[in-house]
Structure 1
Amino acid sequence: MGTIQSYINDIEKDIYQIRRQLHKYPELSGEEVNTSALVKEKLTEYGITYKNGFAKTGVLGIIQGSKPGRTVALRADMDALPIQETNEHTFVSEVDGKMHACGHDAHTAMLLGAGYALKQVEEQLEGTVLLVFQPAEEASPIGGSGPMMEDGVFDEYKPDVIYGQHVWLGLPVGEIGVRDKEMMGASDRFSVKVTGRGGHASMPHEGNDAIIIANQMISSLQTIVSRNVNPLDSAVLTIGKIEGGHRYNVIPKEVTFEGTVRTYKPEVKEMIKQRFHTILHQTADAFDAEIDIDYFDGYPATINTPAYAQQARNTAKRLFGEKATPEVEPALAGEDFSRFLLDYPGAFIWLGTQIDDASEQKPLHDPGFQLDEKALPMGSRFLAEVALDTLHSLSHQEG
């Protein structure tokens, strides 16, 4: 039998080709029909059994080893973003207003590469590996992981451990980021409509200025993090959009604003949510205004299981060297993988994909997002090897 590395070498060109194909033809959350079809085509080509139809376009690949053992799941998300790409490489998006600006095309390609390699060593496999191709990761607050589980993706094969992997631009190629607990934040959203009374700008006493009221609300909301959250905890409350007014000399009747709350600890999240509603309602009462609040509980925080974070760290060091897993700080960006971790132990890891000129690196969700493709075969190898290492560890524990 060959090694995982040798099989990744065999499939390396395919990994690049799949990623570039998906990048050229991105599909938004819930629209991943052609992406799902490509995944199923490749699984069939590689001889991997699959089931499909989870959360509409989700796919589950199944690799059953010849030896008895436990079950490890590996997850990749598939959806793109409503962003117009500004890059000029040879495989830029050909779909207007849509782009893989978060690396999900790379995630899908890497998981297919890992699946190919694992299929080649199924005679040595101590248990089962599940390949979870998830839609709608970007569609917060519903997402795709919850609907996949509701549709029974793990009804027949329940994972003992699950791993997810995300390209990470803050780490150079060859490094893996993983933490024992908090990895990504909870990502709540809100939309607020303030209704006052319109009027002429020269006669403000006859109206009830919704801009002034919204301004007071927004300023007061910032005191939640600065004065209600323990400084040793992490939280962010950001207003990202404001709409109101029609003309320079008209007092508007309505103003709407939208934003997000990011936290790690559930108790901090709930405190902020409570204070958020209290401040807005009391401010509306003070100004004799009406208020409509839509608050969406988004993805929970992504909290790794320490034992499997350590397993990921051990595998990364074995593959890429002792310095391959530097200390990393958690991020408050949201991640739908968190819902898998609520039901199953596992770990979410970051794969270093920083381009050579870091000063030119654009962030995730940027129209100029790029990654260093040299990391993709490494990501495939890591996924395959961490699955093998985990299955072996689980079997050894049972023994």
Structure 2
Amino acid sequence: MNELIYQWSNKIGTEIIEMRRHFHKYPELGYQEYETAEYIKKKLLKYGIPFQSGIAKTGILGIIEGKYKGRVVALRADMDALPIQEENTHSFVSTKENIMHACGHDAHMAILLGTGFILQQLRDYIYGTVLLVFQPAEEMGPIGGAKPMLDDGVFKDYKPDVIYGQHVWPQLPVGQIGIRDKEMMGASDTFKITLKGKGGHASMPHLTNDPIVTAAYLITNLQSIVSRNLNPLEASVITIGKIEGGEAKNIISNKVYLEGSIRTYDANIKKNLKKRFFEITNHVAEMYNNEVVIEYLDGYSATINTPKWARLVRETAQSLFGKEATPDVQPSLAAEDFSRFLEEIPGAFFWLGTRLEDTEKQKGLHDSMFQINEEALIKGSALLTKLAINTLNELKKGEK
């Protein structure tokens, strides 16, 4: 089977790279992926893969029926880009102002299309059905695109027994796969705080209630939630990423705005963090005679793998790329909309090593100069192909 997968992977390899570059050159934001969807549909038609489209506006479901009856496995790729102005200089830079595939979703779509092509050639070896899920709006938390796809009946005709998601990962070299049996990615909530005080002249602070001073104390106190209310071994982060207030150096402002996020892995910890966040914010505002308005958005839940299918990812990667292909990795507190699928369907989310050979040029995800090593694309398609086949075979064993 490995030889057949390598054979077809190499045959489609150049086209996978071309597709990735096309997606990169013409990025679209969440729920605006209309040109992207049309391109995907044309490729699926070319490969002879039936599909359903218009799911949650721009989502697509490709359907590959194996020669033999069996269960159902789904493979997911996200479609949307980010509102970032690209600063790279390669030949396929984004043609859209302030829009860039800076998170690798261009690669995810190309890899999944390549996987679809390979699986079509190997249908005689497939026991069951493989679904190709092209999901819009992964970057648009807190709603995202996974739940709208589920709500829109993406799996009404085919209910997956297992689902997988793959993400490019610049911290890992090509040929390595990051996989954990449980926690993979974090939960992420976001908030906006408006502090309303009483402004005035900088020389007469006694006649004001300065919200900038309140904000300073609030930022310090919010950090104490993680350092003093949680077990030191329980990873969580509270970040104030944006603060706005004031108009001039000699004027005490009457309003300050703060925005940030809260990240953790555990649902109970998330609940406690949220509770303490509200308590401290309200108490600090009251202490300094400020009014406070809190806008709190519950975002994506933590991405928690199903151990059985995470182990199968590890075994499959090692069978293709060698025993050293799956190093121990730590989870990331970055959030991922794939968690919504895992709340309903067993499965696993894993990282595909895409580090550049010149590591000094490697930028992180969401960077305006983010790049990937395209040698990883063929490996990504080969891995998804064999993982889909192995999963259906494993499900078939369970029926005996």
- Whether these two folds match at TM > 0.5 is yes
Q: Which SS does the other structure have where 1:222 is aligned?
A: helix
2:386 is the alignment partner of 1:385 = yes
Residue 49 of structure 2 is aligned to residue 42 of structure 1: no
| Percent of residue pairs bearing the same amino acid type | 57
For 1:35, give the aligned amino acid.
T
Give the distance between the partners of 2:326 and 2:180, measured in 1 at CA: 10
Residue 54 (structure 1) shift: 1.1
In the other structure, the counterpart of 1:96 is 97
Q: What is the aligned partner in structure 2 of residue 207 from structure 1? A: 208
Partner Cα distance (2:87, 2:212) in 1: 35
2:308 is equivalent to residue 322 of structure 1: no
**Deviation sequence 1:282-310 (CA, Å, 0-9, x none):** 11111111100011110000000000000
Q: Verify: 1:346 aligned to 2:347, yes or no.
A: yes
- Given the alignment of the two structures, is residue 15 of structure 1 paired with residue 16 of structure 2, yes or no? yes
Q: Which residue of 2 aligns with 1:293?
A: 294
Gapped runs of 5+ residues in structure 2? none
Match of 1:336 in 2: 337
Partner SS state of residue 299, structure 2: strand
The residue that corresponds to 1:306 in the other structure is 307
Equivalent positions of 1:175-254 (< 5 A) are 175-254=176-255
* Cα offsets for 1:68-110 (capped at 9, x unmatched): 1110000000100000111111101111111000000000000
> C-alpha offsets along residues 312-346 of structure 1, whole Å, 9 cap, x if unaligned?
00000000001100000000000000000000000
**Aligned residue runs from structure 1 range 71-220, under 5 A:** 71-220=72-221
The 5 A counterparts of 1:56-71 are: 56-71=57-72
SS in 1 for 2:390: helix
Provide the secondary structure at the position in 2 that maps to 1:179: coil
Secondary structure (helix, strand or coil) at the match of 1:170 reads coil
Gaps of 5+ in 1: none
1:40-62, CA deviations, whole angstroms, 9 ceiling, x for partnerless residues? Answer: 11000000000011110000000
- Number of aligned positions between the proteins: 399
Q: Secondary structure at the match of 2:298?
A: strand
**1:359 Cα deviation after fit:** 2.4
d(CA) in 2 for partners of 1:205 and 1:105? Answer: 56
Query: Post-superposition shift, 1:123?
Result: 2.2
Aligned residue identity for 2:330 = E
> In 1, distance between residues paired with 2:181 and 2:360?
30
Give the letter aligned to residue 326 of structure 2.
T
Helix, strand or coil: the match of 2:316? helix
Separation in 2, partners of 1:279, 1:243: 20
Distance 2:139 2:44 in 1: 24
Distance 2:267 2:235 in 1: 11
- Distance in 1 separating the partners of 2:367 and 2:196: 34
Question: Aligned pair 1:27/2:46, yes or no?
Answer: no
Q: Distance in 2 between matches of 1:296 and 1:230?
A: 24
Determine the C-alpha separation between the residues in 2 that align with 1:231 and 1:180: 22
Q: For structure 1, which segment, 355-364 or 246-255, has the greater mean C-alpha deviation from structure 2 after superposition?
A: 355-364
What is the Cα deviation at residue 390 of structure 1? 0.5
What is the DSSP-based 3-state SS (H/G/I as helix, E as strand, rest coil) of the residue aligned with 1:73?
strand
CA distance in 2, matches of 1:370, 1:251: 44
CA distance in 2, matches of 1:272, 1:396: 43
CA distance in structure 1 between the aligned counterparts of 2:92 and 2:342, rounded to whole angstroms? 34
Aligned residue for 1:396, secondary structure, equals: helix
Secondary structure at 2:12's aligned position in 1?
A: helix
Give the letter aligned to residue 156 of structure 2.
Answer: D
Aligned partner of 1:375 in structure 2 is 376
Amino acid at match of 1:10: K
Query: For each residue in 1:322-381, what CA deviation from the matched residue of structure 2 results, as whole angstroms up to 9, or x when unmatched?
Result: 110000000000000000000000000100000001122100000010010000010011
Matched, 1:395 2:396: yes
- Aligned alpha-carbon RMSD (Å): 0.9
Deviation at 1:9, TM superposition (A): 1.4
